[in-house]
Amino acid sequence: GQQVMQIPQYQHVQEGEDFTTYCNSSTTLSNIQWYKQRPGGHPVFLIQLVKSGEVKKQKRLTFQFGEAKKNSSLHITATQTTDVGTYFCAPFTGTASKLTFGTGTRLQVTL
Amino acid sequence: GAGVSQSPRYKVAKRGQDVALRCDPISGHVSLFWYQQALGQGPEFLTYFQNEAQLDKSGLPSDRFFAERPEGSVSTLKIQRTQQEDSAVYLCASSLVSRDTEAFFGQGTRLTVV
C-alpha cells in the first residue's frame, strides 16, 4: 500500500533547539497516532489525534492534525538528549484497523 | 503479564531452517500485530489478528511466512526455509480494541540467518 511520507528523514540538532517532523498523506485520514522508538528499543505510543485541526500538548511536545486531516506534525520545543530516537506517525484511513507506520524521522540531539 | 512478551529475544538460524517466534500479548487485548523491522528502517506491517481471526495478512512477504493465533491470545509467527533476507527484528504489538486505542509493543525478536 501507499506509504505516508514523513519529512525530514533525519535531523540533527543541538540541545535546546526546536524540532519539527511532518507527516503527509495523499488521502484523508480518520485519525493518526504518533510513536517514538529509541535506538535499540521498540515503538512507544505518544498520542492519538482524531479531530480536524486538533492540537494536543505533552510538556515540550505539541501535536497537530491538519484541517483537511491529510497531514500532521510533531513539534518539540527546546530539545533534550532524551528526545533522541525515531518518530513515526501511524495513520488510519476509513474503517481500517491495520496499524501501519510512516517512513519516520530520526532525531539526533547533541550537547 | 504486565506487557507484551516475545520469545526468544535472539535467534540465529542457518539458512533453510524453520523458525517459530512467539508473542504473548497483554491479557484481554483483542488486536495483535506483527511487524518486520530491518536495520535502520521503520516497522513494516506483516499481519493483523482480531481475536483468533487473521483479518489482514497482506504484509507477509512470501508463503514461507505463516502466523497463527488459535485461541485469540498467544500468537506464533513461523518462517519456513529461512533466507538471509529474513534477518530482521520481528516486533509484536497488541491493543485493547483496534484503531482507537494505543498499541503496546514487545521487545522484539532479533533473527539472524547465517
Domains of chain A by residue range: 5-110
Residue A35 three-state SS: strand
Task: Name chain A contacts of B43, Cβ cutoff 8 Å.
Answer: 43, 88, 101
Average pLDDT, chain A: 94
Contact of B85 with B79, CB cutoff 8 Å: no
The values of phi and psi at residue B85, to 5°, are: -70, -10
pLDDT classification of B1: cutoffs 50, 70, 90: low
Q: For residue B79, give the nearest of B38, B33, B111 by alpha carbon.
A: B111
Strands A105-110 and A10-14, bridge-based pairing = parallel
Question: Ramachandran region of residue B72, left (φ > 0), alpha (ψ -120 to 50) or beta?
Answer: left
Residue B79 CA: distances (Å) to CA of B15, B18, B53, B66: 11, 6, 19, 6
Contact of A92 with A31, CB cutoff 8 Å: yes
First to last CA, chain B: 33
How do residues B15-74 score in pLDDT, each as one tens digit? 999 999 999 999 999 999 999 999 989 999 999 999 999 999 999 999 999 999 999 999
Task: Name chain A contacts of B98, Cβ cutoff 8 Å.
Answer: 97
pLDDT classification of A1: cutoffs 50, 70, 90: very low
C-alpha cell read off for B85 = 533476507
Nearest Cβ partner for B103 among A96, A99, A104: A99
How do residues A18-53 score in pLDDT, each as one tens digit? 999 999 999 999 999 999 999 999 999 999 999 999
Q: How far apart are CA A107 and CA A21, in angstroms?
A: 9
Q: Domains of chain B (ranges plus CATH)?
A: 5-113 (2.60.40.10)
A2: contact with B, CB 8 A cutoff:
no
Yes or no, beta carbons of A42 and B42 under 8 Å apart = no
Yes or no, beta carbons of A97 and B106 under 8 Å apart = no
- The fourth-level CATH superfamily of domain A5-110 is Immunoglobulins (2.60.40.10)
| Whether pLDDT at A2 is above 60 | no
